[in-house]
Structure 1
C-alpha cells in the first residue's frame, strides 16, 4: 500500500501518528533513493537532487 505525503499530512498526523517507516528491505538502491526523494525532498527540488545523486561517480547505485 502506498501512502502519499497528503495522506500523511491530512490523515495520519491528525490521528497522532508521528513516526513512519520507509520500506527498504529487499528493494534495490534506486528504489530506496526514489522513496527518500519523494518523502524527504520538496517537489520543486526533487529533480535537482536526483541529478546530483545519479551523476555522483562515488555512489554504486546500479
Structure 2
C-alpha cells in the first residue's frame, strides 16, 4: 500500500525526497520506496520522518481500515 500521507506531508512541507533523506540519514531511494509502499521502515526511521515533517506517527503511518 502506497504511503500517500507521507508524500502529501512532504510536498506540503516543500521538501524533496533527497532533502528528507538527508534530514533522516537514509538514501533518496529509501524515501521513494517507503512512499511507493515497497519498504517497511523501522520505528526509529518512522519517528525521524515524523519529526522532520512535523507530523505524528498516526498522521503518516496509521492505516484507516474501513
TM-score normalised over the length of structure 2: 0.25
Which fold has the larger relative contact order, with Cα–Cα distance below 8 Å and residues 6 or more apart in sequence? 2
- Computing the radius of gyration from Cα coordinates, the structure with the larger value is 1
TM-score normalised over the length of structure 1: 0.26
> If each structure's helix is expressed as a fraction of its own residues, which one has the higher value?
2
